[in-house]
Amino acid sequence: KTMHLEANRISRINCSFNSLLNLRKLYLNNNHISSISHTAFSGLEKLQFLHLNKNRLSSLPKHLFAELPKLKYVFLSHNPWSCDCKMLWFPTWMATYKGAVEGMQCAFTGLHNQTLLDVFTHGELIGCSVPPGLASADKCEETDANTAAMPHAI
């Protein structure tokens, strides 16, 4: 029901958790995670708490949380979040999400100490050169095949 993987120098997350159908709490904080597959948490319908704080995440795949109906809390603080078009989908998801998301500070100097939601609310997107509908698509995400051979990937 609970899995602690803190401080294991994990750098990438693929779909290794898909068979853990009874998982309710997942602690992945304090690692080196910079990439998460869009299917990383598929099938974890009972997951309630997800700790991703203190990693190297700058963006998240658009449908990462789509199959997590019981998710109550997502901890995302202390990551170098890119407040740009890659995360354009996030405020929309937040508006429909009934749980709590904590700690999404922008990493860039010009937006330092602003939250991701503040940036989108005030229209301060960085680097958006494509229409918003296209910007929200996951054009840059890594496939599971690309991450399978990576060290410290799970």
Domain harbouring 125, CATH code: 3.80.10.10
Give the type of residue at 141: E
Which pLDDT does position 10 carry in this prediction? 98
pLDDT value, residue 125: 59
pTM: 0.76
> What pLDDT shows up at residue 96?
82
What pLDDT, on a 0 to 100 scale, did the predictor assign at position 144?
A: 45
pLDDT at 140: 37
10-residue mean pLDDT profile of the chain (154 residues): values are: 98 94 98 97 97 95 93 92 82 81 72 63 57 45 44 64
For the chain, how many structural domains are there in total?
1
pLDDT of residue 136: 46
Say what the pLDDT of residue 53 is: 96
Q: Which domain holds residue 30?
A: 1-154
